[in-house]
Amino acid sequence: MSVRWIFKRNFERNISSIGRVFDKFAPGWRTVVDLNSSKASARQKLFEYWRDQVAQLCTDTANNVRLIIGGNNQRLYWLLLAAKHELARKFWGVATNVEKQGKLL
């Protein structure tokens, strides 16, 4: 199941007490996400929590996350670098530099 699917299309179902996808995806998320906030805010907080959980696995995550959008301006997915090696961070820096690289599509 893609991250895009659970974050965008089934978000409301997955944050409910019935949906347990996020409990598997990011255990402990309910302690940091305010379910009374807007969907956009809850989505962002959950994503940040998940990114921090990935970083705790001794894998660095880049701060410059990229939202990829489709031809009809729809959100498709977020790109996030999770790597241990500095060379990967160097490549990510070049690839995400809009001035030098252009758009990530």
Ramachandran assignment for 73, one of left (phi > 0), alpha (psi -120 to 50 degrees), beta (any other): left
Does residue 105 carry a pLDDT above 60? no
Ranges of each domain in the chain:
3-99
pLDDT tens-digit readout, 11-55: 777 777 666 778 887 888 889 888 888 888 888 888 888 888 887
- What's the pLDDT score for residue 2? 45
Q: How far apart are the first and last CA of the chain?
A: 22
Task: Give me the torsion for CA of 55, 73, 41, 16, rounded to 10°.
Answer: -90
Say whether pTM exceeds 0.75. no
**What's 53-103 look like in SS3?**
HHHCCCCEECCCCEEEECCCCCEEEEECCEECCHHHHHHHHHHCCHHHHCC
